[in-house]
Amino acid sequence: MPRIMETLAPTHEVAVDDLPSLLNANIETISECLAAGRFTSVELVKTYLARIEEASYFKAVLQVNPDALTAAQDLDDERKQSGGRGPLHGIPILIKDNIATKDRLDVSAGSFTLLGSKPATESSLVGRLRAAGVVVLGKTNLSEWANFRGLKIRAGWSPRGGQTMGTYYPNSISDGSSSGSAVAAALGLCAAALGTETMGSIVDPAQINNVVGFKPTRGLVGTDGAIPISKRQDIIGTLTRSVKDAAFMLSNMAGRSKLDPMTWQIPFEPIPDFTAYCKGTDLQGVTIGVPRNTFTSSNCSAPIMDSFESALTTLRSAGANVVDSADFPAVDEFKKLNQQIKGIVRSSEFKRDIVDYLATLETNRNDIHSVEDIINFTKTSPAEGYPDHDIGKFLWTQAEGIDVNSEKYSRMVKQEQYYGGEGGILGTIEKYRLDVLVTPSTLGVANDLAAKMGFPVITVPLGFYPDGIPIEHDHGGMVTVAPGMP
């Protein structure tokens, strides 16, 4: 694991041993070092690029930005001439390959279907981050179409990038769909990474790669420029080494976008500095609910539950009022719904929203204009790996009544609002006067319901499986549980 500039010939005398390792470097430390002139953004980018090459086995990075060094040089020159823009000036980040950038990088959702096809405009959120001074290092691998292609495809696989590998055990899963972004954050391939989430796509891979995954409230950040599944649920978030790094990113991501009407209702202006809330551990006055009926001990292994109970003890010792068994009123009804029924709303919205996105393309190399075109290309292009990799979720969109104007869709939207609202998260928060809910990692249905309501979710590292635990594999032989895995 190289330290910053360790692999380079420094342009000025620097005590390399005093510089942070890329594996542990955080935004605050890197920003302070840049401001103090201990290294430059160009030197930092070169070191990250060397680290990306060193860790190529994990297939986390799909594409490197050929103009990253030029951008870094421009920011170094600007710093010399007029000072830094703020804490993100010269900070290198990676971006999931379903978020549009106005540069020479592709935006394809990991699919050859959209390779070479780009919107006319960049994601407004990426534009905000560029204005804050970030350097876009490249694009990360992901579950193809953000895991909305097949029912039997392993998370973290895309035709363009192959299988993203997990970070803590040989041949282990990475989860997804923001697989590459989570692995990149874990391995020190960037200072921070952007992912997207419709339901679990940030927090799931964050959990298994031992990083902080943060999904903001829908409407707090612009989601225009992201290849959609559901514009109502989709959100761009972060994968970072720490909560404070997520706060640095959010402070520069949040705000109204002309291209995303859901951001027009943000109740505060200007956007606050969210890092101001990352001070101390005094939780006096904070009430935390544990909705135990959203997860069961039979679905949670003993090491996870032991770590979770220990975390609750820590929260209590910090002054929090922990309300145990703050259960969701209608969770049993929700659990009875099968996967396809739960997917009716997302299938209907994908069918509509992908057409809207395709209409924004400035170039459309494969003449793709609808879900039907996507299905046809996937089935007929050998590079897409069909039928070994199925298209089960695509086919959901072709079922009867899968339409945003259908009675079936309207009924299910109302059900979702009930299960996540009065019958779930909101009902429980109001009944017990809670500030926040906690669950053991991503297990159970609480995160699903939060996604349907557009509520924020953050996952933080909880621990590791102990020595001696039996190794478990998925149906394809990749490791899912092993000693030392998160």
Q: What's the rounded Cα separation, in Å, for the pair 235 and 218?
A: 6
pLDDT at residue 372, rounded to an integer:
98
Residue 411: left (phi > 0), alpha (psi -120 to 50), or beta?
alpha
pLDDT at residue 8, rounded to an integer:
47
pLDDT at residue 11, rounded to an integer:
47
* Pair 350, 230: CB distance under 8 Å: yes
**Strand (E) or helix (H) holding 304:** helix 302-317
pLDDT at residue 13, rounded to an integer:
54
**Token pair of 485 as six digits:** 């895995």
Active site (catalytic) residues: 96, 177, 201
CA proximity to 161, closest of 174, 176, 180? 180
- Find all residues with CB under 8 Å of 40, minimum gap 6, and list them: 11, 34, 72, 76, 90
pLDDT at residue 3, rounded to an integer:
59
pLDDT at residue 1, rounded to an integer:
52
Cα radius of gyration rounded to whole Å, the chain: 22
- Quote the pTM value: 0.96
* 382-to-129, 160, 391 alpha-carbon distances in Å: 37, 12, 14
Q: What's the rounded Cα separation, in Å, for the pair 11 and 8?
A: 9
pLDDT at residue 20, rounded to an integer:
84
Report mean pLDDT in 10-residue bins for the chain, 486 residues: 52 63 95 97 98 98 98 98 98 98 98 97 98 98 98 98 98 98 98 98 97 98 98 98 98 97 94 95 96 84 94 97 97 88 92 98 97 98 98 96 94 95 98 97 90 97 96 96 98
